[in-house]
Every structure is written in structure tokens, then in C-alpha cells.
Amino acid sequence: MVGEIAKRIEGMIRFCCQLYGWEVYELAVEKDHVHLYLGSQPKWSPSKIMNKIKGGSSKKIKQLFPKLREIYWGATFWADGYMVKSVGDIADKVIANYIKNQEKNRTETTAS
């Protein structure tokens, strides 16, 4: 997920979060995965959040980028799984910095 696809995915995730009132602390779209650090109200379970984000963006991505059908097969754009971790105040800055530096780390790796 690079270039225009990455920009569109980021925009869709941010829009979804805004729509449901979730706060995006950090977001990094990588070549083969996404790092998303967000806050939500307690009424939202992680599975419902991911269902909204992945379900809403999968169909739209396939419509916007029909060439992806040659690369990805199956009914959905996203893989089935996701990882969720709960964090406290101390870990908050560590996680935010890690995600924020993903772009920098990727650029340094490809330049080497």
C-alpha cells in the first residue's frame, strides 16, 4: 500500500474515525499493514471498530483501484486478523513515537 492507495486508505480510516467519534492519535500506512493508534468510547469493542474500518474501506478501495483484483483475490481487501493492545499513560508516548517514525524508518531502509 503505497502512493495514492496509501493516501486513500489513510483518508478512509480518518473519515471513519471522525464519523464514529474515535480519536486518531497516530496512523501509518505501511506497504503491507497499517499501524493505527486510536481512542474510542467504552461502548465500542475492538472488533466492532475494526469491522467498521476494514469493512467500509475494503469495498471502496476495490472500486477505486480495480487493478488490485489482479493482485488480491477473494472477497475482501484486508486480511482477516488484527492486533489490539490497551495502553496506559506511560506507554502512550512510546507508541505514538513508534508509529510516527514508521515513515522515517521505511525511508531510511529503502535508501540503504
pLDDT at 12 (0 to 100): 94
> How much is the average pLDDT of 21-34?
91
92 to 48, 69, 82, 97: CA distances (angstroms) = 22, 37, 19, 9
Predicted confidence band of residue 1 (pLDDT cuts 50, 70, 90): confident
Average pLDDT, the chain: 82
Question: Which SS3 state, helix, strand or coil, does residue 32 take?
Answer: coil
- Alpha-carbon span 54 to 76, nearest angstrom: 9
Give 102's Cβ-side CA count (13 Å radius).
18
Q: With beta carbons less than 8 A apart as the criterion, state whether 20 and 44 touch.
A: yes
Q: With beta carbons less than 8 A apart as the criterion, state whether 72 and 59 touch.
A: no
Domains of the chain by range and CATH? 3-111 (3.30.70.1290)
Predicted confidence band of residue 22 (pLDDT cuts 50, 70, 90): very high
Whether the pTM exceeds 0.85: the reply is no
1-15 burial, b for 16+ CB within 10 Å, e for fewer? beeebeebbbebbee
30-80 residue pLDDT tens:
888 899 999 999 999 999 999 999 988 888 888 888 887 766 666 677 888
